[in-house]
Structure 1
């Protein structure tokens, strides 16, 4: 199909498509879909409904997704916040009982069955996971489902971080994982999205989308005028400036999140993948 909508952000297949795509794509059926929320710590979205299919991205606990199809334990979904489409395990989705009120504001924390740090955690959850908080008990926040989380590790949904670079710095040394978006593994654009979302900035998922949508272009005069928070892009890669010289990114060379001199990253990446394609600077809204 000529000029077909980007399938990463548009749910359509030959047999089925989202109702809002009627008239734009051919499909046998069009459906509205149903809203669910993620109940696992992180839910992988895959290219195909198979456990060994490529990981595209992850939806975090409490994030809402729209389900268009479900069969054989797999759901075909679209993440409501960033629009990403993929196949996910249906057992990790549930109708939303209580709307989320808070989000996790630290790299990782635990959910407990009792308000006691000595109790065995039920599970761990990462940065930007969304939780429905019903009250407090001592130093713990009480979830609507009866579990507990350390209250200082969560913030109200709209109580955003002031410095997205500082958020990204808390994820130093997290392993690199293609498609990852959490403390157990993150890729370059997932790191940028996590940090910007924590600071209240809308942010698409992939680096090409981010380069097209975020901030304003910067002429860095040979990288001499870079600022903290500037986003540096290559084809298929992105990272954040910590200051005028140091660069923070999740990358496959170190296989983790690191800070290194920008010139070292530029030289190494140029030999393999080409030159910087753009620099973007976030501006106050």
Structure 2
């Protein structure tokens, strides 16, 4: 059943339930069907990936032909307003942020790692993670959860307790301060410049805090919620110095990936506490100063295409060995043997000589070559594409220093 049909079915149910309450209302089912058709065509054109753009109803009153649509993009809002104007119904289109968060539409992550989910519920699927000190746009609020947009454009829900919500002025004040980035894999901050003092919080690679000053062998830092803590100097670097030192070479990308060997696979994970397949690639590039798309099915849409398939569209190991370079991304489709156009479901980083590193159960190194001891037959048989990010001018592969969410750090 396609999306339009699903909406149409929902409309019919709504018509039946509302009829008993407003039996005299004039229901124009043809108008509703036109409305859904226009929404779906706009979604297909401008918001095909719900992880990056949202079009949804916030109010639906079919009997009175009264609707409110909300979207994550101002251009989509203007387009929908124009396309729906001729329908003759009471249709309002609004863009995020909603009125519930308009006074403080920005958030700063206040935990070492915040978990983002597909729905505003603790039981919902984890979609991704975001690190301490990262800035997000707050789009909406539902109970104890904010809907947010991350620096790579990913839209998901996070508990309100994971962020500090701020106004534009408060954000500007926070951005003015010098920043420090934690560069150990794991660690802690302390209440005093002494590792035997009370822990303030745990920390992971990539966490960012405001630098207050230096005290002996420690940095004195401030959290987004104004907590004060101390971090050993050998575990952190001034953010600007860290950015300036990034060298996104193939050797460094692979070294960063190898630093996560043995980490557990975690669906939605993008931190050293656990990574999924695309979390490994995303984190490896982040460690080297780049922000890339979040999921494997998004990552395959970007970068330079590398030819690794034969004329029949099947993986060709000989061609792959010839054309692939270290740090290229390999993409896999788990349903490849059942469906000709199966969706990309997995990604790995190519090391060289047929070897790749992946997060599958754990972060591990495998080979695509059958004669190798670490041959992964399941993955090797589902390789469908390869992309080269290094050297690409694709705007989706962005330097952290040029990303608006980090550039003022």
Q: In structure 2, how many angstroms separate the alpha carbons of the residues matched to 1:270 and 1:238?
A: 11
SS in 1 for 2:384: coil
Which structure has the highest helix share of the two?
A: 2
Cα deviation 1:18-50 (Å, max 9, x = unaligned): 352312457643234511111011111111111
Contact 2:306 2:385 in 1 (8 A): no
The alignment's TM-score, normalised by the length of structure 1, stands at 0.88
SS in 1 for 2:111: coil
Q: In structure 2, how many angstroms separate the alpha carbons of the residues matched to 1:74 and 1:141?
A: 33
Aligned to 1:51: 122
Q: In structure 2, how many angstroms separate the alpha carbons of the residues matched to 1:78 and 1:112?
A: 31
Aligned to 2:406: none
CA separation of 1:134/1:196 partners in 2, compared to 1, >3 Å: closer, same or farther? same
Aligned to 1:89: 159
Deviates more, 1:55-64 or 1:98-107: 98-107
Deviates more, 1:127-136 or 1:150-159: 150-159
Contact 1:266 1:276 in 2 (8 A): no
Aligned to 1:222: 319
Aligned residue pairs total 278
Q: Flag the structure with more relative contact order, 1 or 2, with Cα contacts below 8 A and sequence separation at least 6.
A: 1
Q: In structure 2, how many angstroms separate the alpha carbons of the residues matched to 1:52 and 1:265?
A: 36
Unaligned runs of 5+ in 2: 1-39, 59-69, 82-91, 309-317, 333-343, 394-409
The alignment's TM-score, normalised by the length of structure 2, stands at 0.63
Q: How does 1:34-49 map to 2 (within 5 A)?
A: 34-49=105-120
Contact 1:228 1:243 in 2 (8 A): yes
Contact 1:127 1:194 in 2 (8 A): no
SS in 1 for 2:262: coil
Aligned to 1:269: 379
Q: In structure 2, how many angstroms separate the alpha carbons of the residues matched to 1:208 and 1:76?
A: 22
Aligned to 1:238: 347
Aligned to 1:282: 390
Aligned to 1:136: 214
Shift of 1:228: 2.2
Deviates more, 1:63-72 or 1:261-270: 261-270
Q: In structure 1, how many angstroms separate the alpha carbons of the residues matched to 2:258 and 2:52?
A: 29
Computing the radius of gyration from Cα coordinates, the structure with the larger value is 2
Aligned to 1:159: 244
Which structure has the highest strand share of the two?
A: 1
Cα deviation 1:110-165 (Å, max 9, x = unaligned): 11111112223222121222221122122221103421122222233323443122
- Structure 1 runs of 4+ off > 6 angstroms? none
CA separation of 1:106/1:246 partners in 2, compared to 1, >3 Å: closer, same or farther? farther
Q: How does 1:100-249 map to 2 (within 5 A)?
A: 101-144=179-222, 145-157=227-239, 158-162=243-247, 163-214=252-303, 216-219=304-307, 221-225=318-322, 226-234=324-332, 235-249=344-358
Unaligned runs of 5+ in 1: none
SS in 1 for 2:156: strand
